[in-house]
Structure 1
Amino acid sequence: MDGLFPPPARERAEPAPGAVLLPDWLTPAEQRELVAACREWARPPAGMRTVRMPTGGVMSVQTVCLGWHWYPYGYARTVVDGGGAPVKPFPPELGALARRALAAAYGGAGIAGAGGYEPDVAVVNHYPHGARMGLHRDKEERVDAPVVSLSLGDTCVFRLGNTETRTRPWTDLELRSGDLLVFGGPARFAYHGVVRTLPGSADPELGLGLVGRLNITVRQSGLPG
């Protein structure tokens, strides 16, 4: 009898002040378009890379940047930590998508900074099976504009912590393909990370195969030029 009824709809959630989760925000067609775009962005030069931390450790996720190149802990116009190629440009359509995301999350006013949001950088993270992301804060930007996070592929357990320490309190969220998470205001500089991914949970029609999870975060750097 279980198959006779659709699963209950997942609803909007606000896990912390300034943080908004909109499940299934991207349509299947939009997800497929973004997956195809990620494949193009991942190509060299300035393509997908493995990030080495100043401590010598290597991140288990792989990363490609658009607009500005992120490296621990700053931004540059070239891949300063690998090859030196100029960073790929920030796509205008990604900026438009991020502005639409803020309007959906915040209603186009208040915490979103109505009319003042100018995203200029995107960081695309690829989580192969078994990858994770330790708790960290996005604090290389010079403004406190909200971060827009889009999930594609496998489901993950995302941990949203507090702004003071990497310890509790925190909230664990399930992020599925197509979900939108925006965090700004009091949550803008909260510690956050990915505890684990759930291999094989992506819709096969998305075309990711065994790739795992993709996460696109769009930000406003506040940097000149």
Structure 2
Amino acid sequence: MTGDPLPFPRERAEPAPGAVHLPDWLDPQEQRDLVRACRDWARPPAGMRTIRLPTGGVMSVRTVCLGWHWYPYGYARTVVDGDGAPVKPFPPVLGDLALRALEAVYGPDGRSAIAGAEGYAPDIAVVNHYPHGAKMGLHKDKEERIDAPVVSLSLGDSCVFRLGNTETRTRPWTDLELRSGDLLVFGGPSRFAYHGVVRTLPGTADPDLGLVGRLNITVRQSGLVDP
């Protein structure tokens, strides 16, 4: 990995109640496999797209959704703000990873203390690609109908991730360095915390990944049912 390391610890951390950061959780082969899978998921139809917000602004990340299609601000079974194609199915590999992640961060006993962690049945993945210079403002993941934890996997360039509070976009917040292979889970009291990406760090990815920029995969349980 190239670039100057940030002065953040590289060990398990709990930056807020219900939020756990595990560095280097994915091994190099798992990372390469996920990058290849993301390339497949990104292909049309229902491929990676640029999101235009209701305010007219355009997000600097590009996104592809699996299982349910996220758009501002809801979910659908088709790409309602794109090519109109049916959303790609939720991959079992991501469901397995998300279940492993909850076991890793909360343990078999701790899961019972986190809302939605027991009986966790993820059915959505949102894959965001951050090209150089992209960022994401502080926001809540609140379109789901259930308060089950969010599982976040990082690939490629490192970033500065900001985990805020549940009330406002202002302080208090905690900044974390997320590198390729890192796992972040936020549930319980932190499930609806504001969070975002302050900046990415170009050139910090392992060249073996063959990835320019950063990929972030978030896995969620929707609580939605088809009409």
Q: Could you say which residue in structure 2 is the equivalent of 1:159?
A: 162
2:44 is paired with a residue whose SS is coil
Please give the secondary structure, in 2, of the residue aligned with 1:107: helix
Contact 1:146/1:183 (8 A) holds in 2: yes
Q: Give the superposition deviation at 1:145.
A: 0.1
Q: Partner amino acid for 1:74?
A: G
Give the secondary structure class of the aligned counterpart of 2:85. coil
In the TM superposition, residue 216 of structure 1 has moved relative to its aligned partner by: 0.1
Tell me which residue corresponds to 2:136.
133
Q: Give CA-to-partner distance per residue, 1:148-187, whole Å, 9 cap, x none.
A: 0000000000000000000000000000000000000000
Displacement of 1:207 after TM fit? 1.6
Number of aligned positions between the proteins: 216
- Work out whether 1:45 is the aligned partner of 2:48: no
Query: Is structure 2 residue 35 aligned with structure 1 residue 32?
Result: no
In structure 1, runs of 5+ residues without a counterpart are 1-8
What aligned pairs does 1:11-90 form with structure 2 within 5 A after superposition? 11-90=11-90
Q: Partner of 1:92 in structure 2?
A: 92
Conserved in 2, the CA contact under 8 Å of 1:102 and 1:112?
no
Aligned partner letter, 1:23? P
Whether the 8 Å contact between 2:102 and 2:117 is mirrored in structure 1 is no
Equivalent position amino acid for 2:224 in 1 = L
Question: Is this contact kept in 1: 2:116–2:146, CA < 8 A?
Answer: no
Task: Give me the whole-angstrom Cα distance separating, in 2, the residues matched to 1:212 and 1:91.
Answer: 23
Query: CA contact under 8 A between 2:150 and 2:220: conserved in structure 1?
Result: yes
Alignment partner of 1:118 out of 109, 118, 121: 121
CA distance in 2, matches of 1:39, 1:131: 19
With normalisation by structure 1, the TM-score equals: 0.94
Q: Which moved more, 1:105-114 or 1:21-30?
A: 105-114
Question: Counterpart in 1 of 2:220?
Answer: 219
Alpha carbons 2:19, 2:186 under 8 Å: kept: yes
Instruction: Report the identity percentage.
Output: 86
